[in-house]
């Protein structure tokens, strides 16, 4: 995740960071499942507005790592972006002690009250 979120993401000389990160995430998954690769790919797709593709990637990651908070929260954010706040709320509710999940839960509750 260093090209999309870490040290290299802040270096201007490194061009096409997202493309490089995506290639490395996919290469990583070619060797073995890795939750960070699924998360990274999911975030890249999310940033491109490709929410359904992001959902597919994150759900695949969750099949390998059920209960991963980072994958589940990112999945919920995709559903929020699609306007499906009920499904998003269900994902965030899986982590009642998580500050980030609580924040998104509150946003979903407001949107559902409407």
The CATH number given to whatever domain includes residue 20 is 1.25.40.10
The answer to the question of residue 81 being in a domain is yes
In 3D, which of 65, 66, 53 has the Cα closest to residue 26? 53
Residue 27 lies in a domain: yes
Residue 88 is assigned to a structural domain of this protein: yes
Which tens digits make up the pLDDT trace of 33-76?
Answer: 999 999 999 999 999 999 999 999 999 999 999 999 999 999 99
> Does residue 1 fall inside a structural domain?
no
Inside any domain, residue 12: yes
Number of domains in the chain: 1
Which residues form the domain of 24? 7-113
Q: Is residue 2 part of a domain?
A: no
| Residue 108 within any structural domain of the chain | yes
pTM (two decimals)? 0.86
Please give the full DSSP string across the chain, using - where no structure is assigned.
-TTTTSGGGG-TTS--HHHHHHHHHHHHHHHS--HHHHHHHHHHHHHTT-HHHHHHHHHHHHHHSTT-HHHHHHHHHHHHHTT-HHHHHHHHTT-TT-HHHHHHHHHHHHHHH-
Higher pLDDT, 8 or 62: 62
């Amino acid at each position: 995740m260093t090209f999309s979120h870490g040290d290299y993401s802040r270096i201007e000389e490194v061009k096409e960071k997202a493309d490089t990160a995506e290639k490395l995430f996919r290469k990583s998954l070619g060797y073995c499942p890795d939750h960070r690769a699924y998360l990274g790919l999911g975030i890249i797709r999310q940033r491109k507005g490709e929410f359904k593709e992001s959902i597919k990637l994150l759900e695949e990651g969750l099949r390998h790592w059920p209960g991963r908070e980072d994958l589940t929260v990112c999945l919920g954010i995709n559903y929020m972006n699609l306007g499906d706040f009920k499904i998003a709320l269900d994902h965030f509710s899986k982590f009642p002690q998580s500050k980030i999940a609580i924040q998104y839960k509150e946003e979903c509750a407001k949107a559902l009250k409407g």
